[in-house]
Structure 1
């Protein structure tokens, strides 16, 4: 399927690794000029070079979105070679802490990075989309927004906020040609996840090879219909669809890519 992204320029925040990198690479493969963003220049450069080696177009921007000045600088740099048509708010983080250890400062820091940073980028880049009459804002959310666990409560709550703000933005953008939607991943197999699971496997009796370990780990932690972790490319594919002209009628929606982890009819 041709998603017709030629001539579009996309900024994917937090795209120096994991889901963001996979998304940047797929959007570039579909013809978009991609801006790869992160806080570490070497990692950002590596993703951009991989895109160019595959025939795509990629620029880079390094900066921290957790402050007003840093976010403004990233927005200016991203638009230096042309206006941004697609904003993928992917950047975020969490620390695995309990309720007892999640201090008010931890809540505030997580909310700033995971929610307010995305708002900063929306404020900088969406007005131009409105003026041009076309744009896409994709927020990366997560199943913990609606099905939270007891651990890292501060992170669960920020995912809920990300879902909520994306729908509010969709209502704000009514009739402008700009859409706002959410892609909600389940448990996705990135390098850190694989290392963590393999570290637990011997004591849990999950097996010796990844083929043995994966279904056992999924059943123990995150049982889903596909009995595996998702892959970053599967999230990227959902984002790419929402960026395309085929998704112009999709507004304020959440596309769950979680193997059936969230067990809800709606």
Structure 2
């Protein structure tokens, strides 16, 4: 299926690894020119070079979105070779902390990194989309924004805020051909998650092979209809769809890509 992204330019924040990298690679494969963003120039350039070697078009923008200056620099670099039609707000981070350990300073830092960073890029790029009467904004949220764990509450709350701002932006864009939607991943298998689960397996009695660990840990932690973790490419597929013309009639939606997760209890 051709998602009709040829000729579009997309900035994917936090795209030097994980979900962001998978999204950038798929958008490039669908014909979009992608801007790889990160805080490390070498890592960003390596991803861009790999995409170019595969026949895609890619540029690089480096900057810390946790600051106004970093967001200015990122936007300047992203716009250097043309307009940005698609903004994928993926950048963010978190620490595994309990309610007792997540101090107010941690909450403020997490909100800045996970929420205000996206606001900075929206305010720098969406006005031009509105003027051209075309654009796509996709915010990467998460299942923990709707079904939070009792741990890392600062991160759970920041995901809920990302969902909320995506819908608020959609309402603000009413009547234009600029859309804003949210993709909410469930538990996704990236190397750090696999390493964490493998280390925890002996204590939890999940088995020795990865097949056993995946099946048993999913049933205990994030029960879902597929009885497995999602893959980054599956999140990228949902984002790519929302970026194209077939999603013109989708506004302020939260697309869950979580295998049908119905509860979370770590």
Give me the TM-score of the superposition, normalised by structure 1.
0.97
Q: Distance in 2 between matches of 1:74 and 1:139?
A: 17
Tell me, what secondary structure is at the counterpart of 1:115?
helix
The one-character-per-residue Cα deviations of 1:189-222 (angstroms, maximum 9, x if unpaired) are 0010010011111222222211111101111211
The one-character-per-residue Cα deviations of 1:223-253 (angstroms, maximum 9, x if unpaired) are 1110100000000000000001000000000
Name the counterpart of 2:48: 48
Q: Distance in 2 between matches of 1:174 and 1:123?
A: 16
Tell me, what secondary structure is at the counterpart of 2:156?
helix
Q: Distance in 1 between matches of 2:89 and 2:32?
A: 16
Name the counterpart of 1:30: 30
Q: Distance in 1 between matches of 2:26 and 2:169?
A: 25
**Correspondence 1:134 to 2:134:** yes
- TM superposition outliers: structure 1 runs of 4+ over 6 Å: none
User: Does the Cα contact within 8 Å between 1:143 and 1:262 map onto a contact in 2?
Assistant: no
Q: Distance in 2 between matches of 1:47 and 1:262?
A: 35
The one-character-per-residue Cα deviations of 1:36-70 (angstroms, maximum 9, x if unpaired) are 00111222122112211111000011110001111
Where do 5+ consecutive residues of structure 1 fail to align?
none
Name the counterpart of 1:93: 93
Name the counterpart of 1:79: 79
Q: Distance in 2 between matches of 1:136 and 1:221?
A: 34
Name the counterpart of 1:69: 69
How far apart are residue 91 of structure 1 and its match?
A: 0.2
Give me the TM-score of the superposition, normalised by structure 2.
0.97
Name the counterpart of 2:251: 251
Q: Distance in 1 between matches of 2:40 and 2:199?
A: 26
Name the counterpart of 2:163: 163
Tell me, what secondary structure is at the counterpart of 1:182?
strand
Name the counterpart of 2:218: 218
How far apart are residue 262 of structure 1 and its match?
A: 3.6
Aligned Cα root-mean-square deviation (Å): 0.8
